[in-house]
């Protein structure tokens, strides 16, 4: 008979959310461990090893704030840390706080079921079975790769890669003919690097993306020292920002629509030359006013035209849709890459890929031959990993049934009919619209405080109330509807996944959300049932 491992809390995932959950819950006296399907820590940074993979939040902010010694001792080397450095940081955190022994690696959750009588979760994995009073799903928002079912893919005789599931060993494209499908964030980062190696690179683009230069550079010791000298002050200021990301530029309360040509150009040039997400803080109404949005979008299109030598190619690379309604991209020489004679762009906006062939793929009856295919087709964002775990709650009600019409949570933390299951940065929380590590810290600390409070007050189970979840989903979408975000077919809505119900999943605005979470807790966890 298979033995059952018993825990107070089982954490699913060993990325930044899982690591912090382990640390805090152990420190609070809970018997806790984690399961992780990978062979090491790091979460998204363990899996996403594609060429050019890099964080788009500056490294001095994309880092834990909970331990001052950790903040002071870790030295970042670049303004925007690359995947290898971020993974080393995650590994350092696991080692420094002795977390690795709490993690069962190479362990994939195959099913989870809740027993209302025992008030316990049974979690079955490919390795063993666990019984836990609570489950913390720190599964990540971008951790389930989306590989479209292209006909004929199994017949391709070359190498096949997905940016979200990149091999751990070095991939060398030297001398190869490479095709890459997709022009989202990972493709924008990967294309210049792959182009520097490949003999030929062909990019298949359905929808062009706006991208702002990152202007990445080595992080000067003096800059790092200055930030570290007032880290607490800067972290606190960041928590007051809508995105949780602190900019060197003060917030602007004026409108892009109303700015004079001279003023508008000067401000946009300043932000463009600095690079990064500060660009989207240039005016207060960029994501709410269509006229202001179009003015900013046209400014970016002007830069694309200036960077790309061929006018027809520049037009293909220039988006016509709303700017910033999709996840913004940051790049290093992305548009300039298309000036190289060995790089080709194929527009598939009106003609989808017909089939993958043994030697390449076919579009509009034309066959393209490749040695390797790269799918930069993104993720089943925010819900994909949760739905793949075959979760069954009260009265045999499955999560797939509960979310058939879109994810329904309360605060992005709890789900009706699924007691004692917490989601870290789940749908309905600011998550992907923020500095993720800041959002993770806020969520995990709330969960820890909740579990301590339940223990102290003799409660065994907590469950989100259906009416609270319904009201919360309406609130999330009403906030989104005040902006231009829903105007795009983005993964924020699940629009990149065929058949997925379109619901705007992240909540816009970190400070108000954090305040609401505190109010809920201080009012004896209103909106939840405690027993």
| pLDDT reading at 37 higher than 90 | yes
Tokens of 213: 């230069």
Across the chain, mean pLDDT equals 94
pLDDT in tens, 354-375: 999 999 999 999 999 999 999 9
336, with CB counted inside 10 A (0-12, 13-18, 19+), is middle
Residue 196 has pLDDT above 60, yes or no: yes
DSSP secondary structure letter of residue 507: P
Q: How far apart are CA 13 and CA 132, in angstroms?
A: 15
Q: In whole angstroms, how far apart are CA 396 and each of 128, 404, 468?
A: 22, 15, 22
| Separation between Cα atoms, residue 439 and residue 62, nearest integer Å | 11
Return the C-alpha torsion angle 141, 373, 53, 441, nearest 10.
10
C-beta of residue 527 within 8 angstroms of C-beta of residue 415? no
> Residue 389: which of 136, 22, 31 has the closest Cα?
136
Residues 160-194: tens digit of each pLDDT: 999 999 999 999 999 999 999 999 999 999 999 99
Please check the confidence at residue 258 and state whether its pLDDT lies above 90.
Answer: yes
The whole-angstrom separation of Cα 415 and Cα 432 is 19
Instruction: Give residue for tokens 């954490």.
Output: 11
| Averaged pLDDT for residues 45-71 | 96
> Using one digit for the tens of pLDDT, what is the confidence trace for 485-505?
888 877 677 656 666 667 778
Structure tokens at 287: 């994501």
Per-residue 3-state assignment (H helix, E strand, C coil) for 309-333: CCHHHHHHHCCCCCCCCCCCEEECC
The angle at the Cα of 312, spanning 310 to 314, to the nearest 5 degrees, equals 70
Looking at the domain covering 4-144+380-530, what would its CATH class be?
Answer: alpha beta
Alpha-carbon distance 480 to 485, whole Å? 6
CA atoms of 133 and 421, how far apart (whole Å): 9
φ and ψ at residue 129, rounded to 5 degrees: -115, 140
Residues listed for the chain: 531
The arithmetic mean of pLDDT across residues 520-524, rounded, is 98
* Residue at token pair 């109303």: 258
Measured at the CA of 44, the angle between CA 41 and CA 50, to 5 degrees, comes to 110
Distance, in Å, from the CA atom of 173 to the CA atom of 20, rounded to the nearest integer, reads 37
Q: What is the mean pLDDT of residues 198-202?
A: 98
Closest CA to 143 of 272, 67, 43, 239: 43
Q: Is the pLDDT score of 352 beyond 90?
A: no
Residue 18: pLDDT over 90: yes
Enter the tokens of residue 292: 């202001």
- The alpha carbon dihedral of 13, 15, 21, 24 has a sign of positive
Burial class (CB in 10 A: 0-12, 13-18, 19+), 465: middle
Question: What does the angle CA 319 – CA 324 – CA 327 come to, to the nearest 5 degrees?
Answer: 100
Q: Given a cut of 80, is residue 143 above it in pLDDT?
A: no
Report percent pLDDT > 70 for the chain.
Answer: 97
What is the spatial distance between Cα 221 and Cα 225, in angstroms, rounded to a whole number? Answer: 6
Res 2: pLDDT: 65
The domain 145-210+324-378: what is its CATH number?
3.50.50.60
Residue 19: the pLDDT is 98
Contact 463, 529 (CB under 8 A): yes
What is the distance between the alpha carbons of residues 325 and 304, in angstroms, rounded to a whole number?
19
Tell me if 103 sits within 8 A of 36, measured CB to CB.
yes
DSSP 212: E
Dist. CA 310–CA 331, nearest whole Å: 20
> Taking the CA atoms of the chain, what radius of gyration do you get in angstroms?
23
Residue 291 has pLDDT above 50, yes or no: yes
Rounded average pLDDT over 450-467: 98
Q: Where in the chain is the domain with CATH 3.50.50.60?
A: 4-144+380-530, 145-210+324-378
In the chain, pLDDT over 90 holds for what percent of residues?
88
pLDDT (0 to 100) of residue 403 = 92
What confidence score (pLDDT) does residue 477 get? 92
CB distance 189 to 166 below 8 Å: no
Which helix (DSSP H) or strand (DSSP E) does residue 335 occupy?
A: helix 334-337
- pLDDT classification of 1: cutoffs 50, 70, 90: very low
**Residue 165 CB burial class (10 angstroms; 0-12, 13-18, ≥19):** middle
**Token pair belonging to 16:** 């930044």
């Amino acid at each position: 008979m298979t033995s059952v491992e018993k825990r107070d809390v089982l954490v699913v995932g060993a990325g930044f959310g899982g690591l912090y959950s382990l640390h805090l819950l152990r420190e609070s006296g809970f018997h806790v461990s984690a399961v992780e399907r990978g062979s090491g820590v790091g979460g998204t940074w363990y899996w996403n090893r594609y060429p050019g993979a890099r964080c788009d939040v500056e490294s001095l902010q994309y880092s834990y704030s909970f331990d001052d010694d950790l903040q002071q001792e870790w030295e970042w080397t670049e303004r925007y840390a690359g995947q290898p450095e971020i993974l080393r940081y995650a590994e350092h955190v696991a080692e420094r706080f002795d977390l690795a022994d709490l993690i069962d690696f190479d362990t994939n959750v195959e099913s989870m079921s809740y027993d209302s009588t025992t008030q316990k979760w049974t979690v079955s994995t490919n390795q063993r079975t666990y019984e836990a009073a609570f489950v913390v799903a720190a599964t990540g928002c971008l951790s389930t790769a989306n590989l479209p079912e292209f006909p004929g893919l199994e017949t391709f005789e070359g190498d096949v890669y997905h940016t979200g599931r990149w091999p751990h060993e070095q991939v060398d494209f030297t001398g190869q003919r490479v095709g890459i499908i997709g022009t989202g964030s990972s493709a924008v980062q990967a294309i210049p690097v792959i182009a520097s190696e490949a003999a030929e690179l062909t990019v298949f683009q359905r929808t062009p993306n706006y991208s702002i230069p990152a202007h990445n550079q080595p992080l000067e010791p003096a800059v790092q020292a200055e930030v570290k000298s007032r880290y607490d002050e800067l972290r606190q200021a960041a928590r007051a920002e809508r995105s949780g990301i602190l900019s060197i530029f003060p917030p602007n309360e004026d409108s892009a629509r109303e700015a004079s040509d001279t003023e508008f150009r000067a401000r946009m040039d300043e932000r463009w030359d600095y690079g990064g997400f500060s660009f989207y803080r240039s005016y207060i109404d960029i994501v709410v006013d269509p006229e202001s949005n179009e003015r900013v979008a046209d400014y970016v299109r002007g830069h694309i035209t200036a960077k790309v030598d061929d006018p027809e190619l520049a037009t293909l690379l220039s988006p016509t849709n709303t700017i910033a309604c999709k996840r913004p991209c940051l790049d290093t020489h992305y548009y300039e890459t298309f000036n190289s004679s060995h790089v080709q762009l194929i527009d598939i906006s009106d003609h989808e890929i017909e089939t993958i062939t043994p030697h390449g793929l076919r579009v509009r009856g034309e066959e393209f031959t490749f040695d390797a295919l790269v799918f930069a087709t993104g993720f089943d964002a925010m819900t994909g990993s949760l739905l793949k775990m075959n979760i069954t709650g009260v009265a045999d009600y499955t999560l797939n049934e509960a979310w058939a019409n879109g994810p329904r949570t309360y605060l992005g933390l709890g789900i009706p009919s699924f007691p004692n299951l917490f989601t870290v940065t789940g749908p309905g929380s600011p998550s992907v619209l923020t500095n993720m590590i800041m959002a993770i810290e806020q969520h995990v600390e709330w969960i820890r405080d909740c579990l301590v409070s339940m223990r102290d007050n003799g409660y065994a189970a907590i469950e989100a109330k259906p009416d609270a979840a319904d009201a919360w989903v309406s609130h999330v979408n009403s906030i989104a509807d005040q902006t231009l975000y829903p105007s795009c077919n983005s993964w924020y809505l699940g629009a990149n996944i065929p058949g997925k119900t379109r619901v705007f999943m992240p909540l816009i605005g970190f400070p108000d959300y954090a305040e609401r979470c505190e109010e809920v807790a201080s009012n004896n966890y209103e909106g939840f049932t405690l027993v």
